[in-house]
Amino acid sequence: MKAHQWQALIEGMLEAILLVDPIQLRIVAANRAVHQLLKMVPDTLIGRGIIDLAAAPEDVFFWEDVAAGLSDNIHSETLLQRADETIVQVERRVSLVKVGMDGSIYVVAIHDRSSQRQVENELEKLIAELRATLESTADGILVTDLDGAIRSYNHLFAELWGLPDDLLTQRDDDAIYAWMDKCMLDANHYTERLGTITRSPLMEATDVLVLRSGKILERVTLPQYARGRPIGRVYSYRDITQRLADEARLQLAAKVFESSTDAIFITDAEQKIITTNPSFERLSSYSEAEMVGKTPKEFFCEEGNSEQVENLLKELENLGFWEGELWIRRKNGHAYLCMISLVRVVDTQGRALNYIGFFKDRTETHAAKQKIEELAFSDVLTGLPNRLLLQERIKQSITISSRNNSTFALLFLDLDHFKQINDSLGHPFGDRVLQQVTERLKKCIRQVDTASRLGGDEFVLLLHEADAEGAEICARRVLDELSAPFSMDGMNFTVTSSIGIALYPADGSSMADLIKNADSAMYYVKERGRSDFRFYQRQMNIGLLSRMKMDHAMRQALEHNLFRLHYQPQIELKTGRLLGVEALLRWTDKDLGEVSPAQFIPIAEESGVIVPIGNWVMQTAIRQAALWNKDGKQIRVAINVSALQFQQSNFVESIALALQENDLKPECIELELTESILIRDAEEALKRLQSLADLGVKLAIDDFGTGYSSLSYLKRFPIYKLKIDRSFVDALPSDESDAAIVTAIIHLAQALKLRVLAEGVETIEQRDFLQKMLCDEMQGYLFSPAVSAEEFEKRYLS
């Protein structure tokens, strides 16, 4: 199948797809989705090596596994580099597909996982922040699950209980609990009370613990909830030893009482209020005269909380202390949330003298807490559920649908050309448009459904227990609703949307799969004109070819001496005399057959195996040149040098050693360098080239004019010859542009007193043109193809 046929086949696929040729290991086809994923202009991936996209060294090992044939269908995660040099995390499947009788191709399917990774990073950050909060609290905190297993505690907890170092460095719940039992003055009561709390998951309790050391701790026990269900307990411990002692000295605390910002009341032994401080009146609106003679029960109690008040007063009697939150009403009837601490003051015989109540307004704190929770699960701009809350609701829908054997639908919406609004009218204007779009989307769904904003102009609608028909009705309703003109700041405009639909369970069993597939369906709409909807359709996951198989084969060929050199004559145009040859690498693989250097050399350069291959070529060519020149003949051998080989620190020394070992004059060797070698590190290249020139080796620029050509390096570097690339010679003399380029290169070489050679000369007309332009040398099929050393000797040296 030809490349354009492959392109037509994969262009309709929803996933990002790449096809790679098995021999060249270059991308032969790439659909629009993969160009969008990698932020590349369409068709720019064609011809590139698959390994070019790798952004992590681990990816090389992945391709080695594929190339080694460990599996014909490999599923993995990796990192890819986009055109803007950003990195994207993707999920990838590579499969080998047979094509026809004797061909095959690798197909790679790629899915963007960067959004999921971002969510995971945000969750990790949230956990770190929660840990920091735990450590910054003024109380010792112990967190357990419902079975009592310790999940976490802070340093202050360990300090209050005096936990030894060995318990801090090892996880041993039983040992920690045993130590706490040992610290208690009344261990039996402590254990019994703890058992009662453990058996009551929803129980809220406050206890006063007396330790053998004389320290008195207040323990507040609260259930820990997650989405309305208890998942464990949080125990907070506070050292109240000094506070209880201070509270017994009421007279000393009189000034504090009057000036305290906390609202305070004091009762007698019968719990009748005898005084209140100024802050009490400011908070409750009740004057001291209005409160004297009332009991805390009368003040606290109202419809709905009487049982809670009864319980807290009982705990106050039993424990001598109570602390917690309670909703109370002001004199005008307005409710407010209070944090209340109640303390019983006793005499030396333990009899109650007074009761003291401290409370402060927590309404703003409570509202802030609710706001924080709202922000954690809501989109700031639109107020819609965000990705976290959407994930929870999708999980609930999956549970319900699985239990009821029903379906639900996910609609992925992307506003068409919304970027134009932001770019032309500004982001504030665009934000207002999004808010209006939100209001219209709310009209299109039922109360049981969920509209969520993922970010930017992307929205997701979760349709509870909806089938395909219900999803289609909703999609059409959205398109109709959005098609109505928007009017803002005197402007009328229209906002359309592209919608992709995925159904559970047919199109995915998780939020990630459903959103991915709905997103794919949405892009299908985008590619076909926008302002429409499309249901997701399953496609076979097609894998891609690996380049690593070729790399492995080259290493095996090098190890088993399967490479060989052919030699193409270089002829002087003026006289027709043989001047030398160019050594050209050839390779026949048992599985791949005769492999063109154009196919395997780029792969060798990418993988680094070009260095040992280049060393083998250098040694072999020098050895062959020595054999041909030992009888006084003057045959120059031109050898190609790769950039990686040239950069080796011992490159010059290795050539000098090879010349010495084979007793070959340096001028019999000509090194052909690409322009990229000269410009990568110009100063270092100049030093190395000068060393080669001092050695006597000739230096030529190969494929001149096809890369970055700079007159400065021709002037500075000890260059001997320019080689005109065959791409400029092919259309000579008819193509005016090529004729002009070739003429310019020849004149440039003559001006700089350099020799010039034309490659790929195949016709008499090409030769005559070059001869007319005073080109010095040529090589090509017109004279001879590259032949083996034996054939060369038979033709030209016998």
Residue 543 lies in a domain: no
Eight-state DSSP code of residue 510: S
Eight-state DSSP code of residue 186: S
- Pair 346, 440 in one domain: no
- Pair 579, 724 in one domain: yes
Q: pLDDT per residue over 531-548, tens digit each? A: 899 998 865 222 223 466
Residues paired with 336 in a beta bridge: 328
Measured distance CA(645)–CA(650) in Å, rounded: 10
On the question of pLDDT at 160 being above 70, the answer is yes
Mean pLDDT of 368-389: 76
pLDDT at 708: 56
Q: Measure CA 28 to chain center.
A: 27
- Pair 638, 614 in one domain: yes
The CATH number that applies at residue 683 is 3.20.20.450
Q: Are 119 and 387 in contact (CB under 8 A)?
A: yes
Residue owning tokens 């639908």:
409
Q: Are 237 and 142 in contact (CB under 8 A)?
A: yes
Q: Are 543 and 106 in contact (CB under 8 A)?
A: yes
pLDDT at 714: 78
pLDDT at 169: 77
pLDDT at 545: 37
Closest CA to 273 of 262, 282, 263: 263
Cα angle value 693/649/694 (rounded, 5°):
15
Closest CA to 566 of 616, 636, 621: 621
The encoded tokens of residue 724 equal 């005109």
Average pLDDT over the chain reads 84
Q: pLDDT per residue over 258-305, tens digit each? A: 767 788 888 888 888 888 888 888 888 788 888 888 888 777 777 667
Q: CA distances (Å), 752 to each of 418, 669, 722, in order?
A: 57, 22, 11
Terminal alpha carbon distance of the chain: 47
- Pair 314, 403 in one domain: no
- Pair 140, 166 in one domain: yes
- Pair 722, 595 in one domain: yes
Residues of the domain holding 133: 118-239
Higher pLDDT, 149 or 126: 149
Q: Which long-range contacts (CB under 8 A, 24 or more apart) does 280-286 make?
A: 283/330, 283/336, 283/338, 283/359, 283/360, 283/361, 284/328, 284/330, 284/331, 285/330, 285/331, 285/332, 286/331
Total number of domains in the chain = 5
Residue 176 lies in a domain: yes
Mean pLDDT of 308-330: 82
Residue 49 lies in a domain: yes
- Pair 103, 160 in one domain: no
- Pair 157, 291 in one domain: no
Model confidence band, residue 325 (pLDDT cutoffs 50, 70, 90): confident
Measured distance CA(798)–CA(791) in Å, rounded: 10
Residue 540 lies in a domain: no
Residue 62 lies in a domain: yes
Q: CA distances (Å), 651 to each of 437, 617, 636, 695, 701, in order?
A: 66, 13, 20, 12, 18
Residue 158 lies in a domain: yes
Q: Choose the final residue of a domain: 487, 504, 535.
A: 535
- Pair 387, 506 in one domain: yes
Q: Is pTM, for the whole model, over 0.85?
A: no
Measured distance CA(5)–CA(24) in Å, rounded: 18
Question: Does residue 571 come out as left (phi exceeding 0), alpha (psi in the -120 to 50 range) or beta?
Answer: beta
**Phi then psi dihedrals of residue 601, to 5 deg:** -65, -45
**Which of 45-54, 213-222, 572-581, 661-670 has the lowest average pLDDT?**
45-54
Closest CA to 763 of 728, 723, 732, 786: 732
**Phi then psi dihedrals of residue 749, to 5 deg:** -60, -40
Model confidence band, residue 366 (pLDDT cutoffs 50, 70, 90): low
Q: Choose the final residue of a domain: 66, 95, 112.
A: 112
User: CA-based diameter of the chain, in Å?
Assistant: 132
Residue 541 lies in a domain: no
Q: Choose the final residue of a domain: 54, 77, 112.
A: 112
Residue 581 lies in a domain: yes
Model confidence band, residue 134 (pLDDT cutoffs 50, 70, 90): low
H or E segment and range at residue 108:
strand 103-112
Eight-state DSSP code of residue 733: T
The CATH number that applies at residue 461 is 3.30.70.270
- Pair 91, 182 in one domain: no
Closest CA to 601 of 592, 610, 593: 610
Q: How many CB atoms lie within 10 A of CB 150?
A: 16
Residues paired with 223 in a beta bridge: 233
- Pair 563, 685 in one domain: yes
Residues paired with 338 in a beta bridge: 326, 361
Model confidence band, residue 624 (pLDDT cutoffs 50, 70, 90): very high
pLDDT at 3: 56
On the question of pLDDT at 379 being above 90, the answer is no
- Pair 584, 716 in one domain: yes
Residues paired with 455 in a beta bridge: 458
On the question of pLDDT at 625 being above 90, the answer is yes
Measured distance CA(760)–CA(771) in Å, rounded: 14
The CATH number that applies at residue 247 is 3.30.450.20
Q: pLDDT per residue over 191-228, tens digit each? A: 888 888 888 888 888 888 888 888 888 889 988 887 77
Model confidence band, residue 671 (pLDDT cutoffs 50, 70, 90): very high
Higher pLDDT, 336 or 373: 336
Mean pLDDT of 728-754: 92
Measured distance CA(561)–CA(597) in Å, rounded: 16
Q: Are 17 and 34 in contact (CB under 8 A)?
A: yes
pLDDT at 569: 96
